[in-house]
Structures are given as C-alpha cells and as structure tokens.
C-alpha cells in the first residue's frame, strides 16, 4: 500500500506540509496534480474587504466550500456567509457554529427553509416571487404563527452587461413585479432588504452604479422602508486579458450610491464576494504528459480544476516550472486534460515558452474560486494531494503584493 501511494505521488507531502512554492513541489516529481494552497492570500483578501468595504461582507460559499478556507476567512474577520443550499447551510453551521448564515438562493424547497430556520438559526432569506415569499412564511411558522424575526431580501433583476459571466437570466424580479413584492415582503419581514447580482467578474464599477439606480427606482415606486441593501457579488480578480480597476473604485461607487438612497437611517450595506476572496487561495501544479504541436496533454482538465477553462473559455495564468532556464520565446498553447473525452479541452490560449515538453510541470494559477469546487472523479482521475505554500499568487488586486514587471514566465527549480 505504501508503494502504491508513493507511485501516485501521494505520500511525499501530505496536507498541512508547508513548502516555499511550486518549484519545491515539482522537485518531488508528483504523478498526480497537486493543489497548492495559500491561506495567507485568502486571509489578506478577507481583511481587505472587512477593513475597506463600507458595509458587511458575506462570503459566497459556492465559490469554494473548503472547511479549511472557511476557517481562514473566519479568522480574518468574516462572520457572515452567503449559503445557496441546505448542504452549504449544514457545512458552514458545522464548521463555524457561531457564523451568521444567509440563505440567498431565491428558489428553495420548503423543507430546506424549515431546517435552515429551526435547526441552524438562519433568519435571512432572499426571494424574487410572491410564491417564494409564501413558502418562506409558511415554512418558518410555528403552530400557525408566522415568524417575527425574518430578514427578507427581494432580488431585483439587473443587467450583467459589464460582467464576464452573466447572472441576469435565471433570477430576479422584473420591474413590474417589484412593487407588490416589496410591499408584501415588508408585511412579513422584521427587516426588509433589496439585493441584486451584476454578474461574475464585473469589469467596471459602473455595473454597480446602474444596479443601484434600479434599487432607488424600486424603493421610490413601492414607498417602503428598506433596512438592507445587498449589492451581491461580482467583484473581480485579475486574469490574463482581464485587468479590472482597483477594488477601491468599486467600493467608492457603491458607497456613494448607497448614501443617496431613500432608506432607513439605520440601513445596512452588504456585499457577497466569492471569487474576490478565494481566487488567490489555490493554484494547481500539473504535469505535461505529451506535446503535439501547440497542444499539451496535462494531468488535470475539464473534469478537474479546469472546468471553467474548458466550458466557458476562461484563461488562467500559467507558469512553466522546471530546472532549466529557457530563452525560447513564449507561444500560445491549448491543453487537453487526462480523460478520454474530447470535451476535456482547454483552448486558452495559454502562453508558455516554446520548448515546453513532456515531463515538464506547469502551475495554473487563480484556481481557488470555482476550480477546486467543480472537481469530479470522472474517468477515475483526480487527486487529493494538497500542499500549503508560502509564496505569492500569480496575480493580485490587493496592492500589498506586486510582481516584478520583467519576471520571466519560467520558475527555476
């Protein structure tokens, strides 16, 4: 059994073992992909939001539900968590018993609502229809008496035109539905809120300015007192070809718009960052198994941490990790993953030195958001080797870390 595990590359550095970075791990010649964890990067991102966002930050658990990450964020001061399923409710409740959970999926089973309310202390729920409001009221009633401690947030449909991934189609009340929905929710709520989501990876603060205009219109038309305004997620991270403005610019636009809303004097401002808190938390070290012209066959892919790279064409930063330096000019490559499926293809392009070859290792960065969460065991591939590393992530929006502008995209062992 010991030899079997060593052959898979699982015995040399168990989870919790700290390493300087990818180069140190590559020296061990792992056969399986290795997830490199950077708790310090997630902690820094969380502190950034806790200290600089002009309101309360709820971590969107769906981005990465790792219990270890949840504890890192808690230690950094994140006390509220956006959960989207009863599974996430149970996970966070077990991992962080003192955390405040907010059930922000607009469509929920009555059984999930009841368990969340009665067994896990959830008091905040989002909704976008009168039918969902009825479910929440009924599921949280006790002996026919409606709950009197609900925070109900009505989700508006807003544009995703400024985001790389749209979230405008599935959820959100239409303009003609908002007035009666806000009025009805006001009657059932202890605290009434309005929420929205501008889409994932919003590339300009204007996305939030436009959405806050919708919030203002809704409040004026419904003539209700609003206690919570939740601007949702969408805060960006840096990827190749995607270099957004500083996060402070987003915070400033949101704060200015919030201050101008006709809301309760004690109203709270919330946000739900997911990607922005955890993208830098993890990267994956993969091995090149074969090269065919400008195509590299690697040991992770569409059914592993590179789901977004395959299915929505997301480009992640990459670096070649090997002993020999290279003076060969970089060129664009695409990747094939390890499964037998043609869909296991990541077109990129991923820029790497032109002499990359079988046996080389590549670090694929910024996979802490969604990459680790989307893994499957399809075709028998997968790896549980996780190592904490101490170096910095490939990209950062947090200002405290800058990479040398002239740094080569080859990391020497």
**Bridge partners, residue 288, by sequence:** 298
**In whole angstroms, what is the distance from residue 358 CA to residue 95 CA?**
41
Average pLDDT over residues 370-390: 83
Query: 303-359, pLDDT tens digit by residue?
Result: 889 999 999 899 999 999 988 877 899 999 999 999 898 899 999 999 999 999 999
The tens digit of pLDDT for each residue in 296-314 reads 999 999 888 999 999 989 9
Indicate the helix (H) or strand (E) that contains 193: strand 191-195
The mean predicted confidence, pLDDT, of the chain is: 89
Q: Provide the CATH topology of domain 2-38+279-412.
A: Lyase, Ornithine Decarboxylase; Chain A, domain 1 (2.40.37)
pLDDT of residue 17: 58
> Can you give 68-80 as a three-state secondary structure string?
HHHHHHHHCCCCE
Enter the CATH code of domain 40-278.
3.20.20.10
Residue 166 has pLDDT above 60, yes or no: yes
Query: For residue 25, what is the enclosing H or E element?
Result: helix 22-26
The answer to whether 303 and 337 have CB atoms below 8 angstroms apart is yes
Query: Which residues contact residue 311 at a Cβ distance below 8 angstroms, ignoring those fewer than 6 apart?
Result: 302
The pLDDT value given to residue 399? 53
Residue 142 vs residues 138, 294, 391: alpha-carbon distances, Å: 9, 64, 52
What residues does 270 pair with on adjacent strands?
A: 56, 230
Nearest to 81, CA basis, from 230, 269, 273, 237: 273
Q: Give me the pLDDT at residue 165, please.
A: 75
Nearest Cα residue to 241 out of 167, 159, 349: 349
Report the SS3 class of residue 413.
Answer: coil
Which band of pLDDT confidence, cut at 50, 70 and 90, is reported for residue 378?
Answer: confident
End-to-end alpha carbon distance in the chain? 30
Residues 331, 333, 334: CA angle, nearest 5 degrees: 165
Residue ranges in 124-274 assigned as alpha helix (H): 130-139, 175-188, 206-222, 247-259
Beta-ladder partners of 101: 81
Neighbouring residues of 255: CB distance < 8 A, sequence distance ≥ 6: 54, 269
Q: How far is CA 201 from CA 44, 161, 195, 239, 244, in A?
A: 19, 11, 17, 10, 9
Find out whether 150 and 123 touch, Cβ atoms under 8 Å: yes
- CATH 3.20.20.10 residue ranges in the chain? 40-278
Residue 183: CB partners within 8 Å, gap ≥ 6? 222, 224
**Ramachandran class of 121: left when φ > 0, alpha when ψ lies in -120 to 50, beta otherwise:** left
Averaged over 156-162, what is the pLDDT? 85
Percent of residues, the chain, with pLDDT higher than 70 = 92
pTM: 0.90
**pLDDT above 70 for 408:** no
Please tell me the predicted confidence (pLDDT) of residue 407: 35
Q: How far apart are CA 91 and CA 65, in angstroms?
A: 8
Which residue do the tokens 């004026």 mark?
Answer: 220
Answer yes or no: is pLDDT of 123 > 80: yes
- The three-state secondary structure class of 387 is strand
3-class DSSP string for 279-338: HHHEEEEEEEEEEECCEEEECCCCCCCCHHHHHCCCCCCEEEEECCCCCCCEEEEEEECC
Q: Where are the CATH 2.40.37.10 domain residues in the chain?
A: 2-38+279-412
Compute the distance between CA of residue 310 and CA of residue 347 in angstroms, rounded to an integer. Answer: 7
Which residues have C-beta within 8 Å of that of residue 318, sequence separation ≥ 6?
350, 351, 352, 362, 363, 364, 365, 409
Q: Is the pLDDT of residue 395 over 80?
A: no
Q: Report pLDDT digits (tens) over 71-91.
A: 999 999 999 999 999 999 999
Q: Which position has the token pair 């915070």?
A: 251
Structure tokens at 6: 């060593």
| Both tokens assigned to 330 | 């970089």
Residue with tokens 């039918």: 131
Q: Rounded CA gap, 307 and 376, in Å?
A: 10
């Amino acid at each position: 059994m010991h030899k079997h595990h060593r052959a898979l590359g699982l015995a040399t550095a168990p989870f919790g073992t700290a390493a300087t970075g990818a180069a140190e791990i590559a020296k061990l010649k792992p056969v399986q992909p290795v997830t490199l964890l950077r708790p310090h990067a997630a902690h820094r991102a969380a502190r950034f939001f806790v200290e600089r966002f002009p309101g309360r930050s709820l971590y969107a658990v769906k981005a990465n539900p790792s219990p270890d990450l949840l504890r890192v964020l808690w230690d950094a001061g994140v006390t509220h968590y956006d959960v989207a399923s009863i599974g996430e409710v149970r996970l966070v409740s077990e991992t962080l018993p003192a955390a405040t959970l907010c059930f922000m999926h607009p469509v929920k089973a009555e059984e999930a609502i009841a368990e969340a309310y009665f067994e896990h202390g959830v008091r905040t729920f989002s909704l976008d229809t009168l039918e969902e409001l009825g479910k929440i009221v009924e599921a949280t009633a006790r002996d026919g008496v409606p709950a009197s401690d609900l925070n109900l947030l009505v989700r508006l449909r807003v544009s995703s035109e400024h985001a790389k991934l749209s979230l405008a189609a599935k959820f959100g009340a239409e303009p003609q539905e908002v007035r009666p929905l806000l009025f009805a929710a006001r009657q059932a709520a202890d605290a009434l809120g309005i929420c929205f989501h501008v889409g994932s990876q919003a590339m300009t603060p204007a996305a939030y300015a436009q959405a806050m205009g919708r919030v203002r219109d809704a409040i004026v038309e419904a003539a209700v007192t609003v206690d919570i305004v939740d601007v949702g997620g969408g805060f960006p991270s840096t990827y190749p070809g995607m270099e957004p403005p500083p996060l402070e610019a987003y915070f400033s636009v949101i704060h200015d718009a919030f201050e101008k809303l006709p809301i309760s004097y004690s109203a709270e401002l919330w946000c739900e960052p997911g990607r922005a808190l955890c993208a830098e938390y993890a990267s994956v070290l993969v091995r090149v198994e074969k090269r065919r012209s400008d195509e590299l066959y690697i040991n992770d892919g569409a059914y592993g941490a590179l789901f977004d790279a395959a299915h929505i064409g997301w480009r992640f930063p990459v670096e070649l990790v090997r002993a020999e330096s290279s003076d060969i000019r970089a060129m664009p490559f695409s990747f094939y993953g390890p499964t037998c499926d043609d869909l296991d293809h990541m077109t990129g392009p991923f820029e790497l030195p032109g002499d990359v070859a079988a046996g080389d290792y590549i670090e694929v960065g910024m996979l802490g958001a969604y990459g680790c969460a989307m893994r499957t065991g399809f075709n028998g591939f997968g790896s549980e080797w996780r190592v904490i590393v101490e170096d910095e992530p490939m990209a950062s929006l947090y200002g405290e870390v800058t990479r040398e502008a002239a740094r080569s995209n080859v990391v020497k062992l």
